[in-house]
Amino acid sequence: MRIGQFSRAVGLAPSALRYYERIGLLPKAARRGGKRWYDQSMLARARMLKAARHAGLRIADLQQLAQNANDPMSRSAVLEARVAAMDRQLQRLAATREISAAAAECGCNDVAACPMSKEAAKEAARTRIEI
């Protein structure tokens, strides 16, 4: 099937499919008349990539998993590191939620003088965003 049909079947944009192909996460599609043609056998892999991204795995994680496909220890290490990063992100989100909930209840007239605002600024300075 052509890239548009394949894209709709998988639920990924054609640009994502081309990118995954370029970086080696998807095998190179056959060419017919200069156009990409995908066969049914590639659907499962493309859907797995979509599900993995939806689950929070980064492209770098997927590349490491693909490189270590036959090494259960390496796969586990990649996935355990991602779970640890997600746990840290959840902790930051919980702290941010607490601050936001308290700030919503705050009756201060001057945001700059508000203790909640100062606490939020401290929390923001301590945290690092992982992408």
- Residue 8's domain is classified under what CATH number? 1.10.1660.10
Per-residue model confidence as pLDDT tens digits over 17-71: 999 999 999 999 999 998 999 988 899 999 999 999 999 899 999 999 998 888 9
Task: Evaluate whether residue 49 is within a structural domain.
Answer: yes
Task: Evaluate whether residue 80 is within a structural domain.
Answer: no
More confident residue, 4 or 122: 4
For residue 30, the enclosing domain spans 1-55
Q: 31: which strand partners?
A: 36
- pTM value surpassing 0.85: no
Q: Percentage of residues in the chain with pLDDT exceeding 70?
A: 91
Task: Evaluate whether residue 84 is within a structural domain.
Answer: no
Q: Which of 66, 13, 14 is nearest to 36 (CA)?
A: 14
Task: Evaluate whether residue 115 is within a structural domain.
Answer: no
Q: What is the pLDDT of residue 127?
A: 65
Task: Evaluate whether residue 21 is within a structural domain.
Answer: yes
Inter-residue long-range contacts of 48-53, CB under 8 Å, 24+ positions, other chains counted: 49/12, 49/20, 49/25, 50/10, 50/11, 50/12
Least confident of 47-56, 75-84, 98-107: 98-107
Task: Evaluate whether residue 4 is within a structural domain.
Answer: yes
Q: What is the pLDDT of residue 131?
A: 44
Q: Across all residues in the chain, what is the average pLDDT?
A: 87
Q: Enter the tokens of residue 100.
A: 């936001």
| C-alpha torsion sign, points 66, 72, 73, 76 | positive
More confident residue, 23 or 126: 23
Task: Evaluate whether residue 128 is within a structural domain.
Answer: no
Helices 14-22 and 43-54 cross at an angle (nearest 10°) of: 100
Task: Evaluate whether residue 8 is within a structural domain.
Answer: yes
Total domain count for the chain?
A: 1
How far is C-alpha 31 from the geometric centre of its chain's CA atoms? Answer: 30
Q: What is the pLDDT of residue 98?
A: 84
